[in-house]
Amino acid sequence: MGTYDITLNIHRYDPEEKKSRVQTYRLKAGGITRFVDLFRKINDEDDPTLTWSSSCEHGQCGACSVKINGKPLLACELLVENAVDLFKTTTFDVEPLDNVAPVVRDLVIDMEKAYERVHKVKPFIINPKPPPAGGKEHQISPKLMERYLEATRCINCFCCTSACISSTRKFLGPNAMLAAIVRAMDPRELEKQERLSCLFSEHGVYRCHSSFACSFVCPKQIDVAHFIALAKAGALQEE
């Protein structure tokens, strides 16, 4: 465990003055405190105006993504001692996610704007297959589900989109692609044509350069690039 003297250089933004600046906070913290705990400590002991985002605080909702020393990650999952280990320093640059949506204040980005990317791919079943007669569930073999189940674990934290160089341009981003791919592979979706035209549109998978940055940063360890590669190869449907 042990205690660390931590320096946080936090990138702040004031929406009224439209001004950005970096503010340095120094604090003592136990090894297993998380970055969200550090932000809270700053609020309680030093500066209540520092603004940051979180919800579940255990890696399940994707509300707390920030960039620390350049790496997009979940602030609720990063322990101080692990951060020290990972970045070999006790000084951390903390920024809001970039490439995704405008900053509202300090570390908070406009999630509603970010989600517009996901909404575009229609993250639901467009045309559901009629359920079997007699009020029953659809039978889906575990083997078939296995092909796309990983992709359903995405929590839309947008870490991948932030890391993806293509997402600044027209590309909707890796997590939006995942949402579309899930339904393209889901046997309950009958509207495959619209799915595929979306995936292969000018905002779709052909914008991806297979850099694997998305898979590398995903806090849920989803191999995002694998699914995008499947789509590119036209291998979403079961053989």
Measured CA to CA, the distance from residue 134 to residue 132 in angstroms comes to 7
CB of 130 to ligand SF4, least distance (A): 31
Assess contact for 107 and 36: CB atoms under 8 A: no
Does the protein bind another protein through residue 104 (CB under 8 A)? Answer: yes
Does the protein bind another protein through residue 44 (CB under 8 A)? Answer: yes
Identity of the residue, 41 or 120, whose beta carbon is nearer to ligand SF4 in the bound complex: 120
Assess contact for 3 and 38: CB atoms under 8 A: no
Measured CA to CA, the distance from residue 218 to residue 222 in angstroms comes to 6
CB of 159 to another protein, least distance (A): 15
Q: What, of another protein, ligand SF4, ligand FES, none, does residue 194 touch, CB below 5 to 8 Å by kind?
A: none
Nearest C-alpha neighbor of 53 from the set 131, 137, 110, 120:
110
Structure tokens, 190: 């009958």
Measured CA to CA, the distance from residue 56 to residue 25 in angstroms comes to 25
With a CB cutoff of 8 Å and minimum separation 6, the contacts of 82 are none
CB of 200 to ligand FES, least distance (A): 32
- Judged by the rule CB under 6 A, the positions of this chain that interact with ligand SF4 are 62, 154-160, 163-164, 166, 174-175, 178, 208-214, 218, 220, 222, 224-225, 228
Does the protein bind another protein through residue 139 (CB under 8 A)? Answer: yes
Measured CA to CA, the distance from residue 138 to residue 129 in angstroms comes to 9
What residue ranges bind another protein (CB under 8 A)? 1, 15-16, 29-34, 37, 40, 43-45, 47-63, 76-77, 79, 81-82, 104-105, 108, 110-112, 114-115, 119, 122-126, 128, 131, 135-142, 145, 149, 152-153, 155-156, 183, 186, 188-189
